[in-house]
Structure 1
């Protein structure tokens, strides 16, 4: 069934919202998400503050849209890599490429939280799609023995896996993967390796090899 055609009014509204988001990303790149100002965006666009508020009711409304877009983009990237046959390492490289393409987008969702902001439940569901892809890849790896105390803990603390049937060892592998991959990426994108003359791509690859070792 063909998608319904937007009316000229709907197209205009969509274009204005897209332009507002573009200005918001530019602000975030220079001043950070916590300093995001709808009035400053309105001034850049030649609009009044009240006029812009017809498109986004508040700063948090706009931040929510940006975060939703970022998580949706990353989830789609990871799922596309998985559909193409990527293993856990392949998913990691897809995530790193996505992060390097637009560091501010990555840091908005995995960097310092915006003070006073709480994401709605639908964003949590989108982020869960990423973990599901990691768990799907983790269950395909050979089991490591012996089991660890964390394996036993995760057997009874698996709500974060959203009902995924992965065994505790795979939960452990996916969780370790998630924390260490984001640890390296967050440090890299925040510039903490600057001046250290470290090959960050090699560091990332070595961390993956350690994680995937039998």
Structure 2
């Protein structure tokens, strides 16, 4: 009857609460020692449970990691989607990504940092990440296309193709990652460049590689966004 009315039973509510606490303890472990050190038995001990009892909620370490990755990707995708619906352009989406990363560095590093040894994420995780890329492609499409024309055209007097043009032809021929988005090759290139350079700066910043270099990472991030837009 509970399922028929859309109301969870006491047993289902209890299971949901225990799973949520397990994930909370997992994030604490990841913050202390990294995802590769995640231990269900250690979480069970922290919660006053036996190992076998906890395995009734998550069947393996990889199942728990998958749930954490899904939650992290879902949180980022929803944040980016909300900003896009508010009219955010590519630079604003860049700042949205950075704020999310700084607010949740362990979630960011779980999905964009060093892969967990021996772990392989399921395909549906890629589907969630494609929502983020779709928002970036939409924002990229709203910017003026200032890429040079085909070799030999007035916009591109040099008859030889440039590395950028070569790559855009290549990326247009391998655009499966963009789904059915109607982005032009230049828009695909811009969105992908945005993705790689933004995450490059963020990953270095969150891993502490700018510490002691004497500059503000926020200033570098702003400069990278400006350079992308000038392209």
CA distance in 1: counterparts of 2:226 and 2:7, whole angstroms = 49
Match for residue 224 of structure 2 among 199, 207, 210 = 207
Q: State yes or no: 1:185 paired with 2:202.
A: yes
Once residues 212 and 140 of structure 1 are traced to their aligned partners in structure 2, the CA distance between those partners, rounded to angstroms, is 12
Matches within 5 A, 1:7-156: 7-146=9-148, 148-156=165-173
CA deviation vs aligned residue, 1:69-93 (integer Å, no higher than 9, x gap): 0000000000000000000011111
For structure 2, list consecutive stretches of 5 or more residues without a partner in the other structure: 150-164
Shift of 1:124: 0.7
Note the alpha carbon deviations across 1:142-167, whole angstroms, 9 max, x for none: 00221522111112111111121100
Structure 1 stretches of 4+ with a deviation exceeding 6 A read: none
Larger of the two Rg values belongs to structure: 2
State the shift of 1:136 in Å: 0.6
Provide the rounded CA distance (Å) in 2 between the counterparts of 1:43 and 1:205: 45
Tell me the number of residue pairs that the alignment of Structure 1 and Structure 2 aligns: 212
In structure 2, how many angstroms separate the alpha carbons of the residues matched to 1:183 and 1:162?
A: 24
TM-score, with normalisation over the residues of structure 2? 0.90
TM-score (norm: length of structure 1): 0.97
How far apart are the structure 1 equivalents of 2:40 and 2:171?
Answer: 43
Q: 1:208 offset after TM fit, Å? A: 0.2
**C-alpha separation between the residues in 1 aligned to 2:107 and 2:226?**
27
The Cα RMSD (Å) is: 1.0
What is the rounded CA distance, in whole Å, between the counterparts of 2:94 and 2:129 in structure 1?
Answer: 15
Q: Secondary structure at the match of 2:200?
A: helix
Q: Distance in 1 between matches of 2:195 and 2:40?
A: 34
Q: Partner of 2:210: helix, strand, or coil?
A: coil
Match of 1:160 in 2: 177
